[in-house]
Amino acid sequence: MSKSDKRSNNSMFTTIYVEEKALEYPITRQLLQKYADCPVVTIRHYKDVFNRPKQHFALQKQNQSLILAVKEGQFLYKGPEVCQNFGHPNFYYTSFVLNCVFDCEYCYLQGMYPSANMVAFVNVEDFKKSMEEVLVEKQAFLAASYDTDLIAFHNIVPYVDYFYDFFRENPDLLVEIRTKSTNQSFYRNHEPLENIIIAFTLTPAEVIEKYERHTPSLEARIKAVNTAISQGFKVRICFDPIFIDPEIDHAYEPFYRYIFTRIDPGSILDVGYGFFRMSEDFFKRIEKIRSSSLLYAEDYCKDNGVISYPSHVMEKIQKEHMSILYDYIGKEKIFTL
């Protein structure tokens, strides 16, 4: 386990809040036993804590609390336009967990949620029921590690374990688990499934240093990629988000070349590629709470409610990057957004 992944291990929560109706679920009982030293507060509804006004996202990130809750209403959502569907028209996502153990400066979650505390939903059987109703026999693509990093969270709640048999029994459901985690034991302890893709986000060391607090180093991520490949997992590499920044631009060519000297391009399923982008609403909220962030102080373009770089600049940079990536990966295996 990397130093950063230790954040997902013991004693990282200041308080555990538990919804009254979540108290009797097995996940709750296990967690309260595991974190027996952590103060526990019973609450009526998770939103009473999570949606409180005037919370300080950045401060809470340093001292996260965990909220155990029962998910109600909608369990599956149609994938948004700003996310890649990798050619699958039936693209859905689900959120077993809200928020993340990592703290990326560019993360849209800061604009989406009023709190940096983590919510873990304990009624996993209800998620399965909903997936059965909506997705099964539909050849759907499901982003399961959405609004969080499930593998980094695995040492806290092993959600993937709770769904593994379900995924195995429903081969038409193609599941992507996106991660920056280097929890290599995960790949050693799980059998690879045809319909599970592990999607590793790889970024130049300069980007990790500048924007991806608490995440594992590039070296550690490369090792995790190679462990997953050697254990037989289908592996996707995500070069996403790409930044256009004079401090970082020079880093991409050596980064791509280094990645494909360390990772056999023939062993990966495909590559995702996308520039930094965010819904305008989220961007505006983050701009206020990250007032010292240079990332949110830059000039961007707005297109259809999405903030990103000017399209002619993206086209130019993408062309340059693709001319490097094509040395290693066929065009048909690179999905751009």
- Element (DSSP H or E) covering residue 303: strand 301-303
d(CA 203, CA 242): 8
What would you measure as the largest C-alpha separation in the chain, in angstroms?
56
Residue 102 interacts with ligand SF4 (CB under 6 A): yes or no: yes
Closest to 92 measured CA to CA, from 140, 156, 44, 38? 140
Sign for the CA dihedral angle at 39, 42, 47, 51 comes to negative
Binding residue for ligand SF4, selected from 18, 100, 118, 174, defined by CB under 6 A? 100
Binding residue for ligand SF4, selected from 97, 104, 198, 235, defined by CB under 6 A? 104
Closest CB 102 distance from ligand SF4, rounded Å: 4
Binding residue for ligand SF4, selected from 22, 27, 69, 109, defined by CB under 6 A? 109
Closest CB 100 distance from ligand SF4, rounded Å: 3
DSSP 267: G
Nearer to ligand SF4, 25 or 57 (CB): 57
Residue 180 interacts with ligand SF4 (CB under 6 A): yes or no: yes
- C-alpha torsion angle, residues 328, 329, 335, 337 (rounded to 10): 20
Nearer to ligand SF4, 209 or 320 (CB): 209
* Count of residues near ligand SF4 by CB under 6 A: 9
Show the tokens assigned to 22: 């979540």
Closest to 16 measured CA to CA, from 33, 56, 1, 25? 33
Closest CB 132 distance from ligand SF4, rounded Å: 27
Q: How many CB atoms lie within 10 A of CB 284?
A: 13
Could you give the string, one character per residue 140-159, with x where binding to ligand SF4 holds by CB under 6 A and - elsewhere? --------xx----------
Closest CB 320 distance from ligand SF4, rounded Å: 24
Tokens 């026999």 locate to: 137
Distances (CA, A) of 215 to 5, 6, 45, 106, 269: 7, 10, 31, 13, 24
Nearer to ligand SF4, 18 or 109 (CB): 109
Closest CB 58 distance from ligand SF4, rounded Å: 12
Stretch that binds ligand SF4, among 19-27, 34-42, 100-108, 259-267 (CB under 6 A): 100-108
Nearer to ligand SF4, 102 or 163 (CB): 102
Closest CB 57 distance from ligand SF4, rounded Å: 11
Residue 163 interacts with ligand SF4 (CB under 6 A): yes or no: no
Show the tokens assigned to 172: 């038409």
Closest to 234 measured CA to CA, from 261, 273, 195? 195
Binding residue for ligand SF4, selected from 16, 98, 107, 151, defined by CB under 6 A? 107
Show the tokens assigned to 319: 């062309």
Closest CB 135 distance from ligand SF4, rounded Å: 22
Closest to 101 measured CA to CA, from 32, 33, 163, 150? 150
Residues that bind ligand SF4 (CB under 6 A): 100, 102-104, 107, 109, 148-149, 180
